[in-house]
Structure 1
Amino acid sequence: MRRLLIGAACLAALASAASLGAAPTDPMTNDQVKEYDWVRPQADYVRREVMVPMRDGTKLFTVIVFRKGTKDGPILLSRTPYDAYKATSRNRSQRIAEILPVMDKEFVDDGYIRVYQDVRGLGRSEGDYVMNRPLRGPLNRTKVDHATDAYDTIDWLVKHVPETNGKVGITGSSYLGFTALMALIDPHPALKAAVPQSPMVDGWMGDDWFHNGAFRTFGFDYVIEQTAQKGGGEVPRGTGDDYTAYLAAGSAMEYARAFGLLQFPVARKMLEHPAYDTYWQEQAVDKLLASRKLTVPTMLVVGQWDQEDSYGAPAVYRALEPQDANNDMVSLVIGPWRHSQVNYEARALGPLQWEGDTGLQFRTRYMKPFLDCHLKTDPPACQTPPVLTYATGENRWEVSDKWPDGTYTPLYLAAGAGLAWAVPAAGSDSYVSDPAKPVPMLPRPIHMSGDEWKEWLVHDQRFVSDRTDVLSYSTGVLDKPVHIKGAPRVELHAATTGQDSDFVVKLIDVYPRELTADDRLAGYQLGIGIEIFRGRYVHGFATPAPLEPGKTYKFEWSLPNVDHVFQPGHRIMVQVQSSLFPLYDRNPQSWVPSIMEAKPEDYVKATETVRYGGDAASAVWLPIAGG
């Protein structure tokens, strides 16, 4: 019986091997396989991985994806530091809609060829990685940059992708928005349209690294994530309160030393250039583009509550709009989004609810028709709005011919914590700013990551209303709507007993105390615009100088661009404070040549005095639509 059972097992094994079309597998066969093609014959798409050569011989990893049967298709390119392989292998599905990011579905379903490429030095591409690699010139003595890499990539694609019609568009958000803009510098003739979203444009003036001279500490986390070949991730400060971790470290330089960040060249570059010197000026993409003629139709996109790159898209629009005589070459889009939310489902932001999925609405109603009219072989007529914005407070898309689309009207700070439409009587308010107890950006404990980071700009501002180092000014209850369309401008007349000071101004929509439609918003203080200014730059961003104690200065800067309606029954509020921590490093309030290297003894209390009325009429200038 035992022999019969063994014989039967052998016969079964032989039958199984025969069904596999091979001899029986030896038990000691090496189980490792050199390669597995996870794209199976039943897939509804074609996916190609190629190494595209650049003019200096460096090869860049590039993935080409399109639906089976695609012919005469336009190419939509994104150049990324965030892993082109990962961007094109989501879920490893056999359906094209499942392997690509959500924003790609409408395009590949309509015959577009989607291309993702790792920038040089990252992912599977060859070469050295330089964060925000400067254009060829004083900061870049090589012959290659993101402009040449885009040119060489497009040149290769139109020659080696037989399914294309030879027309290329470029898009992407954040860093990918930056590379999309760089492709517009001396562009390839096949590049016919661009949609840069939340692009990194000027890292000092108002995008990732600084805002008006104040250093944004979260940049250290990005440095490690981007440039550590091993051991990447966030700064290893633990899971506790970020407020406590940054406060304990002291200055930005001491924080960098404590966590070994000085080994990262990009961290050293930021710390070595605290002022707006040529290092930053010559990298500013809006300046680079302004010095050239725009030849590629461009749609610039940004979120109204973009917590990372709110400056870039409007800055490029300002730089290029003077060239656009027919109002059809450059357009601006401002949606009700956080950073990059345009490419995801966008029905809400924090407690705020919109009318449907605004990201999908934009992509299908505006972005795709824009690209279609420039990239399709038989294109539809172009009907791109010169300016497209989403009016929060009313929850509707609006089209404008220009931006800003309002008349700047001053709303003056006044006595009794008031705001007035006419110049009030002269007066002042004061508070003590203590670097040992900076005003937090959010209720503590603070974690500058995840949803807390994504939504911090729409957080209820009541959490600081009782602090003695925050001044709050408010209108009465509005009896009619106030609609603003543009970047509110701050004019703050202030003095300090120190030799330096930061000033933060918040423009706030105060909801009624009772709100039956949504109890979460009852009494809510919604930040419409929040921005900082570092006092030492009052005479010029490239020429920091100490403030004279007791002297009143006029500090002027802009809040982010918005389309918002303050509704009847609401109030408008303006808050003034001197820190926003730990997002921005603390100002020591004494004079030090570089705040990056301030010592513990340099951090001192100072009395800040805000003046209003008379010849020192502090105000927030609102771009009021129809005004």
Structure 2
Amino acid sequence: MKIRITIAAMLVAGLALTAGAATAQKRAPSAGDTPRAFVQPTEGFDHERREVMIPMRDGVKLHTVILVPKGAHHAGILLTRTPYDATGMTSLAPSGTLAAVLDGYDNAPDVVVGGGYIRVVQDVRGKYGSEGDYVMNRPLAGTPLNPGKVDHSTDTYDTIDWLVKHVPESNGRVGIIGISYDGFLPLMALINPHPALKVAVPMNPMVDGWNGDDWFHNGAFRQQNLPYMLEQEASRDNSVKWWSNYRDEYDLYLSAGSAGALAKSRGLDQTGFWTKVAQHPAYDDYWQQQAMDRILAERPLTVPTLLVHSLFDQEDIHGAVAVWQALKDTDGAGNLKLAIGPWNHGQQIHEASALGPIKWGQDTGLWFRRHVLAPFLAQYLVDGAPKADLARVTAFETGTNAWRRLADWGAAPTQRLYLKPGAALGFAPATDPAQTVDYVSDPAKPVPFRARPILPVGYEGELTWPNWLVDDQREASGRTDVVSFTTPVLTAPVKISGKPMVHLTAATSGTDADWVVKLIDVYPDQVAGDKAMGGYQLAIAMDIFRGRYRESPSVAKPVAADTPLLYRFALPDANHVFLPGHRIMVQVQSSWFPLYDRNPQRFVPNIMFARPGDYVKATQRITVAGPDGSYIALPVVGAAAD
């Protein structure tokens, strides 16, 4: 095709070149095409973004993102402190709207935007844009674990003090909210709260790393958290990544041998926290002095606080309820509330109508945010907001799938559910003389904690980790190293509300042993309208106990071989109704791999550094009849009958 150039076209081109030259003259000279400092136009944005470095009392400055809604006046401030990148948490979509840029972890954007809050997210010291050094869950200042003068309590105080003086759009009232590590930080803020801190919402908080949150469960080490430890501590910005040559985590951890050997192979011995964990496998002063339920129990609760607990929290299933139990009887001012939902870790701020294959019949996350979280925050942060109509405890009841308003939590009477001969289970004890059920536990073939291939802990890519607590337990019940006990089909509902307590009488041919106990709801063989749930074995509460801590959690001792001994430990809290037509099952096993490191079953001083020759088979014997028969004390609040 021929090209014609007219005089008019030449004139237009000349004018364009002239205009372009004028524009270019306005730009600062540069060696390349990228400006030295790009200024983002914000026309059409519904908020203003400010990034500041807030000074702490020791001179360290913390990177803080402040998002102020356009036209905000006398607005409350909602603060989150995090080790997970404040910039990333407030830039989650290329958008000019708060609802989009906050659409992710910790933010509950519908609550933030709906409440008109000034949103503040801050990097904790030593992470991402903040100055200073990083310490995992930095302990309280002025204690043997932290002889310095700063901690997360002081940093929160100094941050709030700066915000109320330098954010003129605020009404001087601040709330703090967060999930997991970011839920631990609101608990720290309660220790010496700033007067402007008016409300706190710790959701799924890390509270006691040894007793049932991230690092140990009753002495058994959660070794699948090694990648988190590495990535969180090896660099300021989490740029150092864990690596694996295996598709299946089961193969990775089994080939490594011990947790200590795997940690060393990835360079974790260069980091501070792994070193401390490896030196403190028992519940000694290192862990006890950091347990937030113990710390808070020594102080009055002066800030209205909503603890949020998830019944299927795959990471921090201990913490929120532990704080509730520590504070509920001393809360004369009525500052403490508890919300319990059928969620995994942090699911309450997302769509939550189901968890894996389990359907709740409603979006439980939306209900919680609308009816509990939003009114609770508004009462203390929004001018003229009405008092929230909240029960002391708001709890979702699984099985019936309904919300309940409760006056208390953890006070239900218990009823014994006995393990019986013939794989039976019931509320009446066996009349047989003492009997045992035996199985062989082989550390070379540990019981997988879920169906293989077992994928890494994570929230990106193939998203399977968040749902493992609702996996079908039929995968385990068919193994010869797992023993199961089952009730007849229920003719009346059995309602439990609280913490089941295991009373397991067992012997081992070794000198150490792990005991995993699972309380399971077995669905009918056919479920009308939901074919996939036929015969499903849904775990309601399950946990592990390391035998060396039978006498004391703070001192490891060998187990007397071939001697029936009582192992008593709690399972996570449940609020569940076993419906007519269902059955109740209890499973017992001696490994839960690779989530927890293998017990060698021969006593060694520190299991994390067990050598290949330390791992031996053991015969386990569960007493299921007689005066010392095993049972679970269920917190029954409804009918229970054989």
Corresponding residue to 2:366 among 360, 364, 374: 360
**C-alpha displacement at 1:28, in angstroms?**
8.4
**C-alpha displacement at 1:23, in angstroms?**
5.4
Report SS of the residue matched to 1:22. helix
Corresponding residue to 1:345 among 345, 351, 356: 351
**Is 2:123 the counterpart of 1:118?**
yes
Matching of residues 506-517 of structure 1 within 5 Å: 506-517=518-529
Matching of residues 376-415 of structure 1 within 5 Å: 376-404=382-410, 406-415=412-421
Matching of residues 534-613 of structure 1 within 5 Å: 534-613=546-625
**C-alpha displacement at 1:332, in angstroms?**
1.4
Residue 35 of structure 1 is matched in structure 2 by 37
CA distance in 2, matches of 1:181, 1:373: 20
Matching of residues 138-157 of structure 1 within 5 Å: 138-157=144-163
CA distance in 1, matches of 2:578, 2:450: 23
CA distance in 2, matches of 1:219, 1:452: 15
**C-alpha displacement at 1:8, in angstroms?**
5.6
Contact map agreement 1:482 1:565 (CA 8 A) in 2: yes
- Percent pairwise identity: 51
Residue 479 of structure 1 is matched in structure 2 by 491
**C-alpha displacement at 1:443, in angstroms?**
1.5
**Is 2:243 the counterpart of 1:256?**
no
Corresponding residue to 2:212 among 187, 206, 210: 206
* Higher deviation after alignment, 2-11 or 561-570: 2-11
**Is 2:94 the counterpart of 1:92?**
yes
CA distance in 2, matches of 1:503, 1:23: 73
Report SS of the residue matched to 1:93. coil
- Gaps in structure 2 of 5+ consecutive residues: none
CA distance in 1, matches of 2:239, 2:222: 20
Kindly tell me: are residues 18 and 473 of structure 1, through their superposed partners in 2, closer, same or farther at Cα, counting changes over 3 Å?
same
Any idea what the Cα deviations from partners look like across 1:53-97, whole Å, max 9, x if unmatched? Answer: 100111111111132111111111100111111111121201121
Corresponding residue to 1:464 among 476, 481, 487: 476
CA distance in 2, matches of 1:17, 1:202: 68
CA distance in 2, matches of 1:38, 1:13: 30
Contact map agreement 1:221 1:233 (CA 8 A) in 2: no
Matching of residues 193-342 of structure 1 within 5 Å: 193-229=199-235, 232=239, 235-325=242-332, 328-342=334-348
Residue 19 of structure 2 is matched in structure 1 by 18
- Gaps in structure 1 of 5+ consecutive residues: none
CA distance in 2, matches of 1:282, 1:289: 11
Residue 133 of structure 2 is matched in structure 1 by 128
Any idea what the Cα deviations from partners look like across 1:558-599, whole Å, max 9, x if unmatched? Answer: 111111111110000000000000000000011101111111
Name the amino acid aligned to 1:453.
W
**Is 2:166 the counterpart of 1:160?**
yes
Residue 532 of structure 1 is matched in structure 2 by 544
**C-alpha displacement at 1:5, in angstroms?**
7.3
**Is 2:108 the counterpart of 1:106?**
no
**Is 2:55 the counterpart of 1:48?**
no
TM-score, normalized by length of structure 2? 0.94
Contact map agreement 1:406 1:626 (CA 8 A) in 2: no
Kindly tell me: are residues 296 and 24 of structure 1, through their superposed partners in 2, closer, same or farther at Cα, counting changes over 3 Å?
closer
Kindly tell me: are residues 475 and 189 of structure 1, through their superposed partners in 2, closer, same or farther at Cα, counting changes over 3 Å?
same
Report SS of the residue matched to 1:92. coil
Residue 446 of structure 1 is matched in structure 2 by 454
Alignment length (residue pairs): 626
**C-alpha displacement at 1:621, in angstroms?**
1.2
Any idea what the Cα deviations from partners look like across 1:23-42, whole Å, max 9, x if unmatched? Answer: 57999863121223435122
Residue 60 of structure 1 is matched in structure 2 by 62
CA distance in 2, matches of 1:231, 1:383: 42
TM-score, normalized by length of structure 1? 0.96
Name the amino acid aligned to 2:330.
Q
Contact map agreement 1:407 1:625 (CA 8 A) in 2: yes
Contact map agreement 2:337 2:392 (CA 8 A) in 1: yes
CA distance in 1, matches of 2:226, 2:21: 54
Contact map agreement 1:513 1:522 (CA 8 A) in 2: yes
CA distance in 1, matches of 2:347, 2:391: 21
Contact map agreement 1:108 1:114 (CA 8 A) in 2: no
Residue 424 of structure 2 is matched in structure 1 by 418
CA distance in 2, matches of 1:594, 1:436: 19
CA distance in 1, matches of 2:469, 2:249: 17
Contact map agreement 2:98 2:109 (CA 8 A) in 1: no
Contact map agreement 2:246 2:252 (CA 8 A) in 1: no
**C-alpha displacement at 1:259, in angstroms?**
2.3
Name the amino acid aligned to 2:55.
P
Report SS of the residue matched to 1:218. helix
RMSD: 2.1
Contact map agreement 2:115 2:382 (CA 8 A) in 1: no
